[in-house]
A and B are shown apart, each in its own frame.
Chain A
Amino acid sequence: MKTLKTPIDREEVEKLKVNDTFSVTGKVFTARDAAHKKLLEVHSEGREVPFPLGEYPCYHCGPVVKNENGKWKLLSAGPTTSMRMEIFENRFIDSFGTRIIIGKGGMGDETLGALERHGGIYAQFTGGAGSLAAESVERVEDVFYLEELGIPEAVWLLEVRDFGPLVVTMDSHGSSLHKELYEKITNNLSRLKGRFSEEF
């Protein structure tokens, strides 16, 4: 499995195609609904965001964390459903130049367009596998907007090693596994629906 190191290099990302698996070593930040909204607000008001959001993958995740003697420890950190962020993601990518989006369940056409414009990809980490994701987190580097947004919605900046397996499901060349599969699934659905009987 290929390992990508942060800061993210555009050329490396562009080499990745739908169905490729890879892992990430370096820094990753979490952002869910409220964090996307917050970071975009900060940006549109012309204020500085806390770190260069374009250099690290954005992970759709609200972790379980524990504070031990003033230090945050991350215990479980699987992905959340990415589609909720579809309303923000193209503006997010356009504003910050983020090239790797990690989540689950896939995203829509607006995001796919932004990924193509910026040479980025969307990748899935196995949903629900929070304990496995936490294994690759070496430490919590920092946390932002914690008081305002609460634990799940805050922006957690994490130091990770071999964070994966990540499966590319949308690439920088306009391909989307979700779209391809949706067509197949729709065909299978019509075939199956035609077979159902009334019998009980």
Chain B
Amino acid sequence: MDSDLFEEKLTESIKRAVTSIARPTLEALKNASESETGNAKVQLEAMVKAVELGMRKKVPVCQDTGTPTFFVKVGKSFSSSDILCQIKESIKNSVERATDQVPLRPNTVHPISGENPGNNIGRHIPYIEWSICEGDAVDIFFLPKGGGSENMSQLNMMSPGEGLAGVKNIVLERIASMGGKPCPPTIIGLGLGGGSNIAMNLAKEALLRPVGENHEEEDISELERELKDSANQLGVGPMGVGGKTTVLDVHVEYAYRHPASYPVGIVVQCWANRRGFVTIHSDGSVEVKY
């Protein structure tokens, strides 16, 4: 695989990601706009307009282009170790290139001193979450997520005795208390079980699932629908100005847990649900999916 070409395609995917939003999310915003009135409608219309402008003028829809975070899913039959060794370096180069060319906002700062290197590169950043899955290709997802929604993340170590009703209460309490801060209508990623880090990871990964797509297990899917319907009865509304549309979707992922722990991870995505997706096929060819 030609690393220059790979980096060019990755940069293209980053650019596409920040200058538009995922199509099912855009459709959901348009539908919501039809059912709202007054200032709720004004907000949704501005959102749709911003997406159209971003796409037409090739500028970031939202100025907060996030902390560069990637999910790399390696198919277990993918055979080129040379390519795998190159991915990390290429992601770093592409982030630097995109920061300059798109441009992205230089968001990466030292956690203590606040020093900003200006290129979105720093210790552990871009962050890459690696996993091995079925198949013979490598899928690279890019999730540019703003700080406003990320700041609403929450880990709850519930008492198992609180049960499922306790989970639902916690999620609704969170959505109610964050109000307009995470730029609603949001997408809620919910990670149940595992351990502290697992619940948070699952919650974030749940956000990779397209809006409108429910979990493959019927019981979980039912839970997602119940949480979504309930959240939309809270009355937070688009940008917290009141209304019927508080969340566009709730995505739940779960892992088996310790009998004494019930971790509940909540990660929130703003309406500007941006993502990139690049696949490296088994023959080394690179495809920008979005």
Contact = CB atoms under 8 A, between A and B. Distances in A.
Contacts of B271: 128
B34 interface: no
Given A78-B62, A200-B219, A182 B179 contact: yes
B59 A127 contact: no
Contacts of B49: 129, 132
Contacts of B164: 196-200
Contacts of B39: 19, 21, 167
Interface of A: 19, 21, 34, 61-66, 75-78, 80-81, 83, 104-106, 124, 126-132, 134-135, 150-152, 165, 167, 169, 177-178, 181-182, 184-186, 188-189, 192-193, 195-200
Interface stretch (B5-13, B40-48, B77-85, B279-287): B40-48
Contact of A185 (B57, B147, B165, B234): B234
B42 A181 contact: no
B241 A196 contact: no
Given A62-B105, A64-B59, A104-B148, 15 more contacts: A21-B42, A63-B105, A65-B103, A106-B180, A126-B239, A128-B64, A128-B146, A128-B271, A129-B62, A150-B118, A167-B239, A185-B234, A188-B233, A189-B173, A189-B176
Question: Which 4 residue pairs are nearest across A and B when measured between Cβ atoms?
Answer: A129-B50, A127-B183, A130-B63, A126-B46
Nearest to B238: A126
A126 B47 contact: yes
B42 A78 contact: no
A128 B181 contact: no
B62 A128 contact: yes
Interface in B70-109: 103-107, 109
A181 B105 contact: no
A127 B270 contact: yes
Nearest to B230: A192
A64 B102 CA distance: 10
A127 B239 contact: yes
Contact of B183 (A128, A151, A192): A128
A193 B179 contact: no
Interface in B99-146: 103-107, 109, 114, 116, 118, 146
Nearest to A167: B39
B194 interface: no
B208 interface: no
12 contacts: A34-B114, A61-B63, A64-B65, A75-B59, A78-B50, A104-B181, A124-B180, A126-B239, A127-B148, A128-B61, A185-B234, A197-B165
A150 B106 CA distance: 9
B179 A131 contact: no
Given A129-B49, A165-B46, A185-B236, A75 B179 contact: no
Given A126-B50, A128-B272, A167 B176 contact: no
Interface in B16-30: none
A172 B103 CA distance: 39
A167 B185 CA distance: 17
B46 A129 contact: yes
Contact of A167 (B172, B181, B241): B241
B210 to A, nearest CB: 18
B57 A131 contact: yes
B289 to A, nearest CB: 23
B104 A64 contact: yes
B3 interface: no
Contacts of B65: 64
Contacts of B51: 131
A19 B40 CA distance: 10
Interface in B213-250: 219, 223, 230, 233-237, 239-242
B241 A132 contact: no
A164 B178 CA distance: 24
A188 B241 contact: no
A111 to B, nearest CB: 15
Contacts of B198: none
Contacts of B173: 189, 193
A127 B146 CA distance: 11
Contacts of A126: 42-43, 46-47, 50, 239
